[in-house]
C-alpha cells in the first residue's frame, strides 16, 4: 500500500460559516510489513493491514457508525480509533492509543458529507463555494475534489463522496476495498457465485446476502460476482449495481469480492468497471467483447480502456465456448508486460491452455484455471489458485483442495480432486447454472431461486443428478454442514 505524506487530514472542511463540517471522516489503514516479500513480487503482497485508524470530527451518527464498522466488519486487530474535537489541530480525546513504531500508516482519506449543502474547502484565501444541490453529481464531485486537492488536503485521485447517497455505507465499502485488495492477492480459491432470485424472478437480497456470508464463513479467499455462473447477461444495469453492492457488503472476514465487467462494447465495460470499483470490488474480471467478434487490436484497446478507468487489478477472462473466440496467450502476456492485466481466468477446458498462459507470463502474473477438474493439476504447474464453481456446493472441500495443492501436498490434493471431479460429474448431469443452485440447496440447505429461462430442474433432471451424487454421499459428509 502506498504511503502518503503527513499532511492535514481530509477532515479540514468548513461550512458556510467557517465551522468544521461535522459529517466528514478520515480513515487510515494501519499496515505492517509482512517480511516475506521478495524481489519481483507484486506490491500488494508487501504489507498487510492490522488495524484501522478512524479520525472524525465531534461525535455524530455518521462518524460513530463508521468507527463501529471499522471495528466490526474488517476483522482486523487491533483497530485504532480516535476522535478529534477540532477538524485540524484539536486535542485527542481520552482513550486514544497511538500505533506502535513497527506499524506504518497508509492513509486512505474518505470524505463523507452527510447532507447536500454549500460548504467551503480549506483556508478562506483558497476557498471556493461549491453548490452541490441540483447539479450533476459527477460534475459536483469533480469540482469538490479539485478544490480539496488544491488545498493540500486530499489525494486528487481519491474521489469525494457523492452527495445524495448514504455516506457511512460508501465509506465502509471503500475501507473494505482498501484493506483487502492489497492483501489477499490474486491467488487462492475464487468462487464464482450464483445470482439468486425470489419466486417471482426478482433479485432476492436476503438469499444473496446469506449465500455470500456463508461462503465467507467457509473461508474462501474471493467471491466472483457476475460471472457466467452468476447469469450476468440476465441482469439489468440497476440490478447489477444492487447485486454487487449487496455481495460486497455481505462478504466478511478476509474474503474479498471480484466483479465481472465484460461487455460487448468498450464504453459499457468501462462503466461497469468504474461502478464496481466504487462499490468496493477488489478486482475486475472482464471477458473480451462477445457476440460480435472485433479484431484482436480492438480487444487490446478494450482492455487498456478498462485498465485506464480503474485502480484495482484487472483480469482477463478466457472462455471461448461462450464468447466465441479465444484470447491468445501472446496478447494477454503483452498486456501483462504493459501493466494492463494482472491475471487471467482461463476456462478453455484444457490443461494445455492453462500451461500456455503460464509459459512466458511475467512475474506475479496470476493464472487461474476456471475448470474445476483442472484445479490441482494447474496449481502443480504454477497457477496461483483456482476458480471453482463447485465450491458453491461443497466449499470446505474446495478450500482444502486449493490449500493442499498450493502447499505442495500433491497426494492429498489429488485425492480431493478425485472427489471434486465426481461432484462436477453430478452437476453436469443437469442444465447449467440451475444444477449448481439445486446442489447447493440439496447439500448445504441454501435458499436459492431462479429466473427464466434458467429455471429450476424438472423432476426427471433432479433424479438424474441425485443418482450421480448417491455413490459419493458418504465421502462428502465430512465437508458438509452438521
Claim to verify: residue 269 and residue 353 sit in the same structural domain = yes
- Same domain for 383 and 463, yes or no, is yes
Domain annotation covers residue 139: yes
Q: 63 and 132, same structural domain?
A: yes
The pTM of the full predicted model, rounded to 2 decimals, is 0.68
User: Is 214 a member of any domain?
Assistant: yes
Distance from C-alpha of 197 to C-alpha of 434, rounded to nearest angstrom: 12
Q: For residues 199-228, give the mean pLDDT.
A: 97
For 435-468, what is each residue's pLDDT tens digit?
999 999 999 999 999 999 999 999 999 999 999 9
Region 348-367 average pLDDT: 96
**Are 309 and 226 in a shared domain?**
yes
| Residue 247, domain member (yes or no) | yes
Between 77-86, 190-199, 322-331, the lowest mean confidence (pLDDT) is in: 77-86
* Separation of alpha carbons 323 and 90, rounded Å: 58
**Is there a domain that residue 231 lies in?**
yes
Share of the chain above pLDDT 70, in %: 62
Least Cα distance to 217 among 175, 252, 190, 183 occurs for 252
Rounded-to-10 torsion of CA 476, 449, 461, 477: 10
pLDDT at residue 312, rounded to an integer: 94
Q: Please say which residue of 103, 135, 164 terminates a domain.
A: 164
**Same domain? 379 vs 444:** yes
Same domain, yes or no: 202 and 284: yes
Using the predicted structure, report yes or no on whether residue 145 has a pLDDT greater than 60: no
Phi, psi of 81 (to 5 degrees): -130, 150
Give the pLDDT score at 482: 78
Q: What is the tally of structural domains in the chain? A: 2
Do 281 and 201 form a contact (C-beta atoms < 8 A)? no
- Is residue 229 included in any domain, yes or no? yes
Q: Average pLDDT in the 26-37 region?
A: 42
| pLDDT for residue 415 | 98
57 in a structural domain: yes
Residue pLDDT, tens place only, 397-439: 999 999 999 999 999 999 999 999 999 999 999 999 999 999 9
Boundaries of domain holding 367: 185-479
Residues in contact with 369: Cβ distance below 8 Å, sequence separation at least 6, in sequence order: 345, 346, 347, 351, 354, 375, 378, 383, 386, 387
| Res. 377: pLDDT tops 70 | yes
143/250 same-domain check: no
* pLDDT of the residue at 147: 42
pLDDT at 62 over 70: no
- Asked if 198 and 59 sit in the same domain, the reply is no
Examine the domain organization and report whether 116 and 260 are in the same domain. no
- How many other CB atoms are there within 10 angstroms of residue 99's CB atom? 17
Burial of residue 102 (number of CB atoms within 10 Å: 0-12, 13-18, 19+)? exposed
Q: What is the CATH number of the domain that holds 231?
A: 3.20.20.70
252 and 379 part of one domain? yes
Beta strands, E only, 278-356 = 283-286, 314-318, 343-346
CB–CB of 145/113 below 8 Å?
no
Are 62 and 159 within one domain?
yes
Give domain status of residue 148, yes or no.
Answer: yes
Q: Does some domain include residue 178? A: no
Do residues 404 and 326 both lie within one domain? Answer: yes
For the ranges 69-73, 123-127, 135-139, 440-444, the one whose mean pLDDT is highest: 440-444
Amino acid at each position: 500500500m502506498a504511503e502518503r505524506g503527513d499532511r492535514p487530514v481530509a477532515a479540514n472542511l468548513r461550512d458556510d460559516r467557517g465551522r468544521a463540517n461535522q459529517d466528514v471522516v478520515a480513515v487510515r489503514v494501519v499496515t505492517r510489513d509482512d517480511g516475506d516479500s521478495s524481489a519481483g513480487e507484486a506490491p500488494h503482497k508487501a504489507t498487510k493491514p492490522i488495524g484501522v485508524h478512524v479520525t472524525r470530527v465531534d461525535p455524530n451518527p455518521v462518524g460513530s457508525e463508521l468507527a463501529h464498522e471499522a471495528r466490526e466488519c474488517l476483522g482486523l486487530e487491533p483497530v485504532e480509533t480516535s476522535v478529534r474535537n477540532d477538524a485540524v489541530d484539536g486535542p485527542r480525546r481520552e482513550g486514544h492509543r497511538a500505533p506502535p513504531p513497527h506499524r506504518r500508516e497508509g492513509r486512505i482519506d474518505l470524505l463523507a458529507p452527510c447532507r447536500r449543502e454549500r460548504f467551503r474547502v480549506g483556508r478562506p484565501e483558497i476557498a471556493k463555494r461549491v453548490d452541490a444541490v441540483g447539479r450533476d453529481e459527477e460534475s459536483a464531485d469533480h469540482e469538490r475534489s479539485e478544490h480539496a486537492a488544491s488545498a493540500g488536503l486530499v489525494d486528487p485521485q481519491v474521489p469525494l463522496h457523492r452527495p445524495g447517497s448514504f455516506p457511512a455505507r460508501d465509506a465502509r465499502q471503500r475501507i473494505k476495498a482498501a484493506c483487502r485488495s492489497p492483501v489477499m492477492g490474486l491467488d487462492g480459491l475464487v468462487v464464482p457465485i450464483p445470482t439468486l432470485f425470489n419466486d417471482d424472478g426478482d433479485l432476492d437480497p436476503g438469499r444473496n446476502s446469506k449465500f455470500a456470508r456463508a461462503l465467507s464463513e467457509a473461508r474462501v479467499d474471493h467471491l466472483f460476482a457476475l460471472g457466467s455462473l452468476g447469469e450476468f447477461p440476465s441482469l439489468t444495469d440497476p440490478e447489477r449495481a444492487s447485486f454487487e453492492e449487496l455481495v460486497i457488503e455481505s462478504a466478511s472476514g478476509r474474503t474479498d469480492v471480484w466483479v465481472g465487467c465484460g461487455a460487448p462494447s468498450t464504453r459499457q465495460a468501462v462503466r461497469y468497471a468504474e461502478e464496481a470499483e466504487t462499490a468496493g470490488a477488489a478486482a475486475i474480471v472482464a471477458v473480451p467483447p462477445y457476440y460480435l467478434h472485433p479484431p484482436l487490436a480492438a480487444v487490446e484497446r478494450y482492455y487498456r480502456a478498462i485498465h485506464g478507468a480503474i485502480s484495482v487489478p484487472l483480469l482477463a477472462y478466457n472462455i471461448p465456448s461462450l464468447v466465441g473466440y479465444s484470447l491468445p496467450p501472446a496478447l494477454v502476456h503483452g498486456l501483462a508486460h504493459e501493466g494492463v492485466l494482472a491475471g487471467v481466468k482461463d476456462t478453455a477446458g484444457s490443461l494445455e491452455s492453462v500451461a500456455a498462459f503460464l509459459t512466458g507470463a511475467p512475474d506475479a502474473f496470476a493464472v487461474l484455471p476456471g475448470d474445476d477438474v483442472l484445479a490441482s493439476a494447474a496449481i502443480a504447474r504454477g497457477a496461483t489458485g483456482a476458480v471453482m464453481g463447485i465450491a458453491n456446493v461443497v466449499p470446505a472441500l474446495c478450500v482444502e483442495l486449493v490449500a493442499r495443492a498450493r502447499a505442495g501436498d500433491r497426494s492429498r490434493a489429488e485425492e480431493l480432486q478425485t472427489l471434486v471431479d465426481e461432484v462436477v460429474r453430478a452437476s453436469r448431469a443437469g442444465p447449467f447454472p440451475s444444477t449448481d443452485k439445486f446442489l447447493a440447496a440439496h447439500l448445504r440447505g441454501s435458499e436459492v431461486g431462479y429466473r427464466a429461462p434458467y429455471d429450476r430442474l424438472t423432476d426427471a433432471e433432479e433424479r438424474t443428478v441425485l443418482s450421480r451424487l448417491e455413490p459419493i454421499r458418504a465421502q462428502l459428509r465430512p465437508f458438509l454442514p452438521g
